[in-house]
Structure 1
Amino acid sequence: MTDGRKTWTPEEISLVVNLRNQGHGWRAIARHLGRSDTMCRFQYERSAGKPVKASTQQQAEPVTPKVSDIRAERAPDSQPLPVGHPIVMRGLWQGMERGPIYAGQ
């Protein structure tokens, strides 16, 4: 995701501050600059002089994406996977191995 750059140019820092002040998220800013979201937040804190509290979602290690988020990233003209596709079959088998889910559990 990052190219291993260590130095930040003043233009990059001002862009981080401007984009964040406009309400953009850390991931979007990081993708735009080709940096990590943690380093973008760190540079914002250094330049703005105020710490930014990380949300509970950022602190959690593994974040499972929601179905709505996955669908939003797909192309509008994409088609569902065909029956028998390896990814579909793997999901089917994993669901069968877990067994039925009851409301009482």
Structure 2
Amino acid sequence: MTDGRKTWTPEEISLVVSLRNQGHGWRAIARHIGRSDVMCRYQYERHTGEPVKATPRQQAEPVTPRVSDIRAERAPDSPPLPVGHPIVMRALWSGITQRVYCEPKN
């Protein structure tokens, strides 16, 4: 964990650069030095002058399509979705919660 140090020593910066050039990950480097992985990346970029590109593992997960997008892709004469399908279950639970929480009580 970090101990709140503000300044970086030249030895720490050179260690970050050498470990990264050897192929070590940012978390491993940060644990070894005792700093955060974000600050290690920042110091590496600052020292080498080259921006760090995201690896495929760091990129965001694909976004789940919205229900409206799925409806637009279906043919008008296609059969209905089977019971237990995630979209059907989501619609069912949505209807139940709206009825339970939104209906006025008599």
Q: TM-score, normalised by structure 1?
A: 0.54
CA drift of 1:53 comes to: 2.1
Alpha-carbon displacement from aligned partner over 1:47-69 (angstroms, at most 9, x marks no partner) = 11101123465466xxxxxxxxx
Task: Indicate the residue corresponding to 1:83 in structure 2.
Answer: none
Q: Does 1:30 align with 2:11?
A: no
Q: How many residues align?
A: 64
CA drift of 1:103 comes to: 6.9
CA–CA distance in 2 between the matches of 1:43 and 1:8?
A: 9
CA drift of 1:21 comes to: 0.1
- After superposition, residues 80-91 of structure 1 pair within 5 angstroms as none
CA–CA distance in 2 between the matches of 1:59 and 1:7?
A: 30
Structure 2: 5+ residue runs without aligned partners? 61-82, 87-106
> RMSD between aligned alpha carbons?
2.2
Q: Which amino acid aligns with 1:104?
A: H
Q: Does 1:49 align with 2:49?
A: yes
Task: Indicate the residue corresponding to 2:92 in structure 1.
Answer: none
- After superposition, residues 1-105 of structure 1 pair within 5 angstroms as 1-55=1-55, 57-58=57-58, 104-105=85-86
Q: Which amino acid aligns with 1:39?
A: M
CA–CA distance in 2 between the matches of 1:40 and 1:59?
A: 19
Which has the larger Rg? Answer: 2
CA drift of 1:27 comes to: 0.1
CA drift of 1:104 comes to: 3.3
Task: Indicate the residue corresponding to 1:94 in structure 2.
Answer: none
CA drift of 1:10 comes to: 0.3
Task: Indicate the residue corresponding to 1:87 in structure 2.
Answer: none
Q: TM-score, normalised by structure 2?
A: 0.53
Please list every run of at least 4 consecutive aligned residues from structure 1 whose deviation after the TM superposition is greater than 6 angstroms. none
